[in-house]
Each structure stands twice: as C-alpha cells, then as structure tokens.
C-alpha cells in the first residue's frame, strides 16, 4: 500500500527522465539497424565485416564478437554492448537517486517518519527501475522486429539490455547500503559493472582458451545470449539468479544499518585547512580533483590500450574493403587510416565533451555558493574556479590519450595531432553550457545537454547520409572531424576557440547581471 | 552616527510575487538591530539584496557607504554573513570550511577561531556532510565571528541551535556589541531579539511596519494594568481598552501616553493593589499580525 504510494512518487519525480532514457536507448537501436543496413548492404559485406571483427582486438575488447553473419548479428555486435552500458548506467543513476540521494538529503527521514515500512523506499525504487528495464526489453523487441530483424533475436537483444539494467540496479542496491554518499555509491556500482564488462572483453580477446573468464562475470552471460546467432535463452536464468542474490544481499544489509548511515563509517577530516585551500581555485581543486584524475587515468588506459594493441588490427580491418563505401563518403584515400581516426575520434569527442559539460554544470549544483559569494569573491572568480577544470582537464585527457596512441608505433606526434585537435570542439560545447548557465539559470543543464545530443544526432545523421555536409558544419565537432570534411588548421582551431570564449564571456556576463538561484 | 545600512522604498519581485514592497530600514553603526518577521515576510530577500546576491528592482540601498550590487566584492571584505539555511561543501571538514572562509577575507584571528570552536563545542574534524543543521550553523557562525569585520549579517542564526548554544550565541553577540561591531540579526525568536537588540524593525509582507528602540515601540502601544479597587468605577475609565471588571478587580489596557491620567482616575476609586506591565515584544509583534 505505502510502497505503491512511493512508486507513484518516483514516477511523478521522473516523469521526464524515465521515458526519455528508455526511448533514447530504443532509438539508438533503431538508428544502429539503419546505419548497419546502409554500411553493409549485401550479405557479402556483412560476412566480410563479421570475419574481420574476429581479428580486431579493440572491437573484441569494447564490443565483443559477432555471433552470426546476418544483418541483426552485425547490428547487435556493433551496438549491443553499448545498449547494455546505457541501460546499466541509467539504472544505477535512477536507483541511487531514489535511495541514497534521498537519504543523504534528508528526504528519506521525512518518508520514514510516515507509515512506511523500513524497506519500502528500496522496494519502490527497485520496482520502478526493474519495470523500466522490462519496458525497454519490449521496446527494443518491437523496434528490431519492425525493422525487419528476426523476432527471437530482437527479443534476445531487448533482454540483453534489460538484463544489464537489472544487474546495474541490483549492484546499486547493494552499493547504496555500503556508503553514505550517493555519488560514491553510483560510481561504485557502475565501476563494478564496467570492470566486469572489461573482464568479459579480455575473455573475448583471449579466444577459446579464455572463454571461462567471461562466464565468471554477468556481462559475459549477457553477451553470450547470442542474439541473432542461435539464441541461448538460459543465460537469462543466470542473470535472474544474480539479480535475486544481489537484491537479497541489499535487503539483508539494509536491515542491519541505521537510516542515513552506511556500512563504511565516515572518516574524520583535518581540523585545519591545508595551505592550498585559500579561495575559489583551491576549493575547485578539492571539488574536481577526484573526477579529473579518474578521467585522466581512463584516458591513459584506453589510449595506451589502443596504441599498443589496436592500431594494426584496426588498420587491417580498414583495408579489408568492407568499409570502402563509407570511406568514400568521408573523402578519405586510405580507408584504414580513416577508420583508425574514426575509432579515436568517437571514443574521445563524446566522452570528453560529457566531462566538460558535467564540470560546467557543477556550478549549478554548487549550493554552498551563498557562503562563498557572501565573501569578497566576484561571481566571475567563483565560476572561473570550476571552469578552469572544464577547460584544462580535456586538454590533459586528450594529450595523455594521444601519447598513449603513440606507444605502439612511436609516432607520438601523430597520436597527439589526432586527439588534441578535438580540444577546441569540446571547448565550444563547454562554452555553450556556460552561456546557458549564465543567461538562463536553471535551464542551463537542459540547454547544455541538448546541444551535445543535437551534435551527436547530426553526426549520426551525417554518417548515414540524412544530414548534408553544410548542415553538419553547424556542429563544432564537424570542424575537428576525422573526415576530410574538417580542415583543422590553426585558423579553424583558433576560430573555434574564439567561439568558445565568446560563449563563455556571454555566460559570465549574464551571470554577473542576474539573480543567483539560491 | 553614520548609517551602516540604509534602504529606501526597496522593491523586489519574483515573477508575480512582490517579495519586498517599498521597504525602508536603517541600521546605525555599532548597534545590534533586530529584524523581525515570520517566514516569508521578506527577511532573507532583504539580506540577499544587501549581499548583492539578488538585484533590487527599485528603490535605494546603501551598505557601508557603497552600492551592494556594484561594489559587492569590496564591501564583502568588511562584512560576514551567516545564511539561514547553511549549506557547506560536503567533502570539506568543518575546520577547513572555517579556515577557507576566513582566508577569503584575508585571514581570520586564529586564537579567536579556536576559542569559538571551543565555546560552541564544535568538532572541526567532521566532514560537513555529517553535520546536523545546528552544527552547520555553528560552522558558519564561527567563521563569521572569527573574521575581523565591521558588520555581521545573521539570518536566523540560532534556528538550529540548542538552548545551551543559544546562550553562548547571546554572550558572543553581547561581546561583539561591546567591541563596537554592527549586527543585523534577523530572527523570529522574540526573546532573543529582546535580550540582544538596541533597535528593532518589524517586517510584514515586504514592508517595515514598525521600527525603533524597544522603548520607543513600547511607547507607541499599551500597558496592561490589573488593579484591585475599593469601589467599582461606575461609568468606565478614559483612555483604556478591553476593560473587564470582576468584583473589585479590574483589568485593562491603557495607552502609554495617557497612563498618568489613568492612574490619577484610578486613585479616586481607592487602589488596594496594582500591577502594570509594559507590553512584551511578543505583544508588539502580534499586534501587526493579528
């Protein structure tokens, strides 16, 4: 009864986000099928593609092998793993939001003082998130089937995505019992999921000899459902067993702890501030350093991984002829080279933009701003503390990634050139977020994320030929693109930097003139 | 004495809501000024305009001789603020927040800082996210009180404090007054204002409805009198209100300016016993909200 009321509350609070993420993932599947159909128009090209996949370590690591030689199998190979990551990420975020975030911010206490069972909030959050993933499974099945893919494979793909969401939610349900901090709980749950994902990748890289490794982690079970390649339905029983075990653990832990507390007691901090903590910049360093270092470490890991293992394989794949049509569209002479550039570009541009926008929008959440800004600190200086990270960390991340790329063939300059040109494009995205935050206050987040979503949509549209070259040039990413469309010379890069600076200046001007949203 | 804060016909609207509607208020140098009003009357909005966090729509506002919007940074070196709802940086310890805020103003008095931490019984090593509302308030209060500034702006600073800590707060503010600091204390705890403040302004719906010293405010209103008389006054008493007669016992309210006349008339009926009470701040306050 009261759990029902809490479920309704969650649905009300998430009436935008919940449908949005489910539809986005379903749409992603739909565009994937369309893209693959365009890229691999004949059975021969599909066969070629799937054969090459088996030799490509980066693709095996990040996406997994193809389990068939049909259009569906190729599509599921290309983007199936990505749908599992999206579903898991969304599920972790939503579960943490309705459990530990509520607890951290005191809302849980308000609910707990009403006639609500001790476990009701956890039950309500789990119910909503698990059900949302079931809806996602149905949607993906419908999308796949209506695109002409076999029904069974479409259902398997849907269940793969939903399984990832269920596993993410179950991991998050445990993580929120362990730590008191919502952000840490979310990071913990997703890191576990992603680490298991990479274990699966290593297993796939290692070939038959390492098959067993993949069976140790749930992510291995999910991909080995073999969508469109002789579906193995029983793996979903493993998933169900895992989810039940994790949820049981979460309830057991929840019953043993106080509300508001975690299993890990909070540590004491220093009684006095260290010398570096003197103002907005010192404070920004404390706020952002953890995330920034994690991104830099990730860039080093992925950059070096591609540099050491991936380059030759990607090039072999590019030369295979499977991508000649697509390479022609990008205006490249050498499909191998351009395909390598594509892999690097796609890995770098969206993730680093994501970081930059997230960092800019931390301004919005810096609620202690009232104390800071009642001191002798101008709004511009306060904002600059945060913005420094949005500007500088993308540079560091991309330089590190570029150096990593050079590890394989010693061509550090080439690696750096490939990644660092992206920087001004990312800056423009960050600049748009600053302008939106400064000029529109609360709408800042929506505008910032919409700008990124539009840029991605244009990119995807351009790749399949729906968006013309000149329209695509509106996007800042088109100017730092891997294709010959872009001319990332000093003039272009300077121009983008100036545009970014212009946006930022407009945002700071707006911020100086408007009321603060306190 | 020069005015530390002067506001004339101050207006601030949020959409259709008129939060401040022609507010007039003056705070003089060296006084502790009580700013009284219920929730939603406009106290916090007024303080945020004084801090340049919000921009006024109309009217005039001067703070420490400057314009709080245009000269915010320079003026903020000379003041400290305690928000009504204190949010801290969750990953910093209380001690780190106190030091950070002190250093922003060019360094706080380290001895005073330690003394205040001791008096307010704060554990400065705890992370800000683990503090209760009262402890977060203490962090902001200690940071404000340890900095050597001319003006303290305090927005309901004791709303989360326990009675022991409230007593400490009163002691500290009394010391601040002796040291010549100006304090604007927004509150709805009337006893606190009565105990601490030289002058009081009462706000209602975005306007000041009463302002002055407590003595002046009392003068404007009525004294409650209870008297035991030998004879019952047959045709009432002049200048009194709410007269009730119970045997030889009368109760009434008298206008302060006519209290002499009233007592003279009472004497004619043979006073056996009399108590007269000046209005409490609570009565003054309630008069505007009934």
The predicted pLDDT at position A229 comes to 86
A163 neighbors A236 (Cβ within 8 angstroms):
yes
Q: Is residue A45 part of a domain?
A: yes
Residues B230 and B164 reside in one and the same domain:
no
Of the listed ranges A132-136, A467-471, B56-60, the least confidently predicted one is: A467-471
Buried b (16+ CB within 10 A) or exposed e, A387-411: bbbbbebbeebbbbbbbbbbbbeee
Structural domain of B258: 221-289
Residue B12 is part of a domain; what is its CATH number?
3.40.50.300
Task: Tell me the average pLDDT across B69-88.
Answer: 90
- What are φ and ψ of residue A471, in 5° steps? -70, -40
For residue A272, the chain B residues in CB contact (below 8 A) are 95-96, 99, 124
For residue B96, the chain A residues in CB contact (below 8 A) are 269-270, 272-274, 277
Please report, for chain B, how many H helices and E strands are present, in that order: 10, 13
Residues B274 and B183 reside in one and the same domain:
no
At residue A331 the predicted structure's pLDDT band, cuts being 50, 70 and 90, is low
Residues B241 and B144 reside in one and the same domain:
no
Residues A408 and A485 reside in one and the same domain:
yes
How crowded is residue A212: how many other Cβ atoms within 10 Å of its Cβ? Answer: 11
Distance in Å, alpha carbon of B163 to nearest chain A alpha carbon: 23
Which residue among B55, B92, B104 places its CB closest to the CB of A377? B104
**Whole-complex ipTM:** 0.79
At residue A56 the predicted structure's pLDDT band, cuts being 50, 70 and 90, is low
Residue B239 is part of a domain; what is its CATH number?
3.30.70
Q: Is residue A365 part of a domain?
A: yes
Residues A5 and A147 reside in one and the same domain:
yes
A494 neighbors A340 (Cβ within 8 angstroms):
no
pLDDT digits (tens, 9 = 90+) for B179-220: 999 999 998 888 888 888 999 999 988 999 888 888 777 766
CA distance A397 to A299: 6
Residues A285 and A243 reside in one and the same domain:
no
Q: Nearest to residue A139, comparing CAs of A282, A30, A289?
A: A30
- What are φ and ψ of residue A370, in 5° steps? -60, -40
For residue B101, the chain A residues in CB contact (below 8 A) are 371, 375
Residues A72 and A101 reside in one and the same domain:
yes
Residues A99 and A233 reside in one and the same domain:
yes
Strands, E assignment, chain B: 3-14, 17-28, 32-36, 58-63, 79-82, 151-155, 182-187, 199-204, 207-213, 222-229, 240-246, 249-255, 271-277
Residues A349 and A217 reside in one and the same domain:
no
CA distance A51 to A200: 20
**Percent over 90 (pLDDT), chain A:** 30
The predicted pLDDT at position A441 comes to 72
Residues B57 and B172 reside in one and the same domain:
yes
Task: Tell me the average pLDDT across A402-406.
Answer: 88
Task: Tell me the average pLDDT across B130-149.
Answer: 90
Residue to substitute from B87, B106, B141, interface A, most A β-carbons within 10 A:
B87
Inter-chain touch A180–B81, beta carbons under 8 Å: no
The predicted pLDDT at position A201 comes to 82
Task: Tell me the average pLDDT across B65-90.
Answer: 90
The predicted pLDDT at position A320 comes to 55
Inter-chain touch A272–B124, beta carbons under 8 Å: yes
Residues B160 and B239 reside in one and the same domain:
no
Classify residue B279 by its DSSP letter: P
A483 neighbors A326 (Cβ within 8 angstroms):
no
Residues A24 and A152 reside in one and the same domain:
yes
Residues A447 and A331 reside in one and the same domain:
yes
Residue to substitute from A184, A264, A271, A363, interface B, most B β-carbons within 10 A:
A271
Task: Tell me the average pLDDT across B113-125.
Answer: 93
Residues B204 and B281 reside in one and the same domain:
no
Q: Is residue A327 part of a domain?
A: yes
The predicted pLDDT at position B69 comes to 92
Residues B230 and B143 reside in one and the same domain:
no
pLDDT digits (tens, 9 = 90+) for A18-52: 888 899 889 888 888 888 888 788 888 888 878 77
pLDDT digits (tens, 9 = 90+) for B163-177: 899 999 999 999 999
Residues A322 and A236 reside in one and the same domain:
no
Task: Tell me the average pLDDT across A157-183.
Answer: 91
Q: Which of B164, B197, B213 is the last residue of a domain?
A: B213
Residue to substitute from B20, B47, B103, B118, interface A, most A β-carbons within 10 A:
B103
Q: Give DSSP secondary structure letters for B54-101.
A: S--SEEEEEETTB-TTTTHHHHHTTEEEE-SS----TTSBHHHHHHHH
Residues B201 and B227 reside in one and the same domain:
no
Q: Is residue A512 part of a domain?
A: yes
Inter-chain touch B89–A104, beta carbons under 8 Å: no
pLDDT at A472 over 60: yes
pLDDT at B276 over 90: no
Q: Is residue A270 part of a domain?
A: no
The predicted pLDDT at position A266 comes to 73
Q: Considering its fold, how many domains does chain A have in total?
A: 2
For residue A278, the chain B residues in CB contact (below 8 A) are 100, 103-104
CA distance A53 to A29: 20
Pick the residue with more confidence: A423 or A309? A423
The predicted pLDDT at position B237 comes to 77
Residues B9 and B118 reside in one and the same domain:
yes
Angle, CA A210 vertex, CA A208 and CA A215 arms, to 5°: 100
Residues B130 and B261 reside in one and the same domain:
no
pLDDT at B271 over 80: yes
pLDDT at A316 over 70: no
Q: Considering its fold, how many domains does chain B have in total?
A: 2
Q: Which of B185, B213, B241 is the last residue of a domain?
A: B213
The predicted pLDDT at position A245 comes to 95
The predicted pLDDT at position B27 comes to 93
A351 neighbors A456 (Cβ within 8 angstroms):
no
Residues B109 and B171 reside in one and the same domain:
yes
Inter-chain touch A273–B130, beta carbons under 8 Å: no
Residues B183 and B251 reside in one and the same domain:
no
Chain B: residue whose CA lies nearest to A184: B91
Structural domain of A311: 278-518
pLDDT at B244 over 90: no
The predicted pLDDT at position A400 comes to 92
The predicted pLDDT at position A182 comes to 85
Of the listed ranges A305-319, B189-203, B225-239, B257-271, the least confidently predicted one is: A305-319
Measured CB to CB, residues of chain A less than 8 Å from chain B are 104, 180-181, 266-274, 277-279, 282-283, 286-287, 367-368, 370-378, 513-516, 518
pLDDT at A135 over 70: yes
Mean pLDDT of chain A: 85
């Amino acid at each position: 009864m009261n759990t029902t009321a809490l479920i309704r509350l969650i649905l009300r609070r998430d009436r935008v986000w919940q449908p949005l993420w489910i539809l986005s993932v379903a749409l992603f599947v739909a565009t994937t099928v369309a893209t693959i159909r365009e890229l691999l128009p004949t059975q021969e090209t599909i066969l070629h593609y799937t054969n090459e996949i088996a030799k490509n370590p980066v693709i095996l690591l990040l996406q997994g092998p193809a389990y068939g030689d049909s259009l569906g199998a190729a599509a599921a190979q290309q983007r199936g793993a990505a749908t599992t990551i999206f579903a898991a990420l969304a599920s972790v975020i939503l579960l943490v939001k309705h459990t530990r975030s509520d607890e951290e911010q005191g809302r849980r206490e308000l609910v707990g003082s009403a006639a609500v069972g001790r476990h009701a909030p956890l039950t309500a959050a789990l119910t909503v998130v698990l059900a949302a993933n079931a809806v996602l499974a149905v949607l993906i099945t419908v999308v796949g089937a209506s695109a002409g893919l076999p029904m069974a494979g479409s259902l398997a793909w849907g269940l793969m995505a939903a399984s990832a969401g269920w596993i993410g939610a179950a991991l998050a349900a445990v993580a929120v019992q362990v730590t008191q901090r919502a952000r840490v709980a979310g990071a913990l749950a997703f890191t576990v999921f992603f680490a298991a994902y990479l274990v699966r990748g290593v297993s796939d890289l290692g070939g038959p000899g390492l098959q067993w490794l993949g069976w140790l982690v749930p992510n291995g079970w999910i991909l080995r459902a073999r969508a469109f390649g002789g579906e193995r339905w029983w793996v979903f029983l493993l998933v169900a067993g895992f989810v039940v075990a994790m949820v049981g653990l979460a309830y057991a832990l929840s019953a043993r702890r106080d509300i508001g507390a975690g299993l890990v007691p909070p540590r004491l901090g220093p009684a006095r501030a260290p010398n570096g903590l003197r103002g907005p910049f010192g404070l920004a360093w404390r706020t952002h350093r953890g995330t920034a270092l994690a991104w830099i470490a990730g860039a080093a890991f992925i950059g070096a991984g591609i540099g050491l293992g991936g380059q030759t394989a990607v090039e072999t794949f590019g030369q295979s002829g499977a991508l000649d049509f697509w390479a022609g569209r990008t205006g490249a002479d050498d499909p191998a080279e351009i395909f390598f550039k594509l892999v690097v570009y796609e890995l770098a541009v969206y993730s680093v933009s994501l970081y930059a926008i997230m960092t800019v929008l931390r301004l919005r959440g810096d609620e202690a701003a009232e104390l800071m800004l009642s001191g002798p600190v101008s709004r511009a200086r306060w904002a600059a503390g945060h913005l420094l990270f949005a500007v500088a960390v993308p540079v560091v991340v991309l330089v590190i990634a570029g150096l990593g790329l050079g590890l394989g063939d010693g061509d550090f300059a080439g690696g750096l050139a490939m990644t660092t040109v992206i920087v001004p494009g990312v800056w423009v995205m960050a600049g748009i977020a600053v302008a939106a935050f400064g000029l529109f206050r609360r709408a800042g987040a929506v505008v910032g994320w919409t700008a990124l979503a539009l840029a991605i949509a244009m990119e995807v549209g351009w790749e399949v030929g729906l968006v013309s070259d000149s329209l695509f040039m509106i996007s800042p990413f088109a100017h730092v693109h891997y294709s010959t469309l872009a001319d990332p010379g000093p003039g272009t890069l300077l121009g983008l930097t100036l545009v970014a600076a212009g946006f930022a200046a407009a945002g700071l001007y707006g911020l100086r003139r408007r009321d603060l949203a306190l | 004495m020069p005015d530390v804060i002067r506001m004339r016909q101050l207006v601030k609207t949020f959409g259709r809501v008129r939060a401040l509607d022609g507010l007039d208020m003056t705070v003089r140098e060296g006084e502790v000024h009580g700013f009284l009003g219920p929730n939603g009357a406009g106290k916090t909005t007024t303080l945020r305009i004084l801090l340049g966090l919000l921009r006024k729509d109309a009217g005039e506002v001067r703070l420490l001789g400057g314009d709080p919007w245009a000269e915010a940074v320079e003026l903020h070196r000379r003041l400290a603020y305690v928000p009504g709802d204190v949010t801290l940086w969750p990953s910093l310890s209380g001690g780190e927040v106190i030091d950070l805020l002190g250093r922003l103003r060019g360094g706080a008095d380290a001895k005073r800082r330690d003394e205040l931490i001791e008096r307010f019984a704060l554990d400065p090593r705890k992370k800000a996210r683990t503090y209760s509302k009262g402890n977060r308030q203490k962090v902001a209060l200690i940071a404000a009180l340890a900095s050597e500034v001319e003006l303290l702006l305090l927005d309901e600073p004791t709303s989360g404090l326990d009675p022991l800590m409230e007593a400490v707060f009163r002691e500290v503010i009394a010391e601040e007054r002796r040291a010549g600091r100006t304090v604007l204390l927004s509150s709805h705890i009337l006893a606190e204002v009565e105990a601490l403040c030289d002058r009081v302004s009462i706000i209602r719906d975005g306007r000041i409805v009463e302002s002055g010293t407590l003595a002046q405010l009392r003068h404007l209103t009525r004294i409650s009198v209870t008297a035991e008389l030998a004879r019952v006054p047959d045709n009432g008493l002049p200048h009194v209100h709410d007269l009730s007669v119970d045997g030889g016992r009368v109760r009434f309210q008298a206008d302060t300016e006519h209290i002499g006349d009233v007592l003279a008339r009472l004497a004619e009926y043979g006073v056996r016993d009399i108590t007269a009470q000046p209005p409490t701040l609570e009565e003054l306050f309630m008069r505007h909200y009934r």
